Amino acid sequence: MGDLSVRVDIQKLLSFGDDLIGVLNNEKDVESLKQSMEGGKMLGAATQGDAQQVQASLEGEISVLYIVTLPHLLNERVSVVVDRNMKRAEKFELDNDLPSYETSNRLWEMASSG
């Protein structure tokens, strides 16, 4: 037999079907739906350029964070931080007593300076 937990109100289903047929038969509603779809496509195209700019900006910032620290081979707690322009290197020692956000801020300041 069927699943008894699923109950369908036949009257509501038929009413919904009639409403749907009425909407699809009404040319005005179909034209409105087409215009809405075209508007959605235009909005998507318009925001695509903005999204690409934001993505490029984020990738630039992430790449700065990615190349910021070079691990010191002899000591896990010590790294070398290179500034954004790759012109200056500074020793950085991890301090476990500091909260992680302060460590992150210190690294960011060191990498962004210069």
Q: What is the pLDDT of residues 17-55, one digit of tens each?
A: 888 888 777 777 778 888 888 998 988 888 888 888 888
Query: Is residue 90 a part of any domain in this protein?
Result: yes
92 in a structural domain: yes
In a domain, 5, yes or no: no
Evaluate whether residue 63 is within a structural domain: yes
Q: What is the pLDDT of residue 13?
A: 84
Q: Is residue 43 part of a domain?
A: yes
Q: Cα separation of 38 and 44, whole Å?
A: 10
Closest among 41, 95, 38, 76 to 107, alpha carbons compared: 95
Residue type, 30: V
Q: What are phi and psi of 63, to 5 degrees?
A: -65, -35
Q: Considering its fold, how many domains does the chain have in total?
A: 1
We report the CATH number of the domain holding residue 96 as: 3.30.160.430
**Can you give the pTM of this predicted structure?**
0.30
- Give CA–CA dist 42/82, Å, rounded: 43
pLDDT in tens, 52-63: 888 888 777 666
Domain that holds residue 18: 10-112
Q: Does 2 map to a domain?
A: no
Is 1 part of any domain? no
Q: What are the tokens at 23?
A: 């909407």
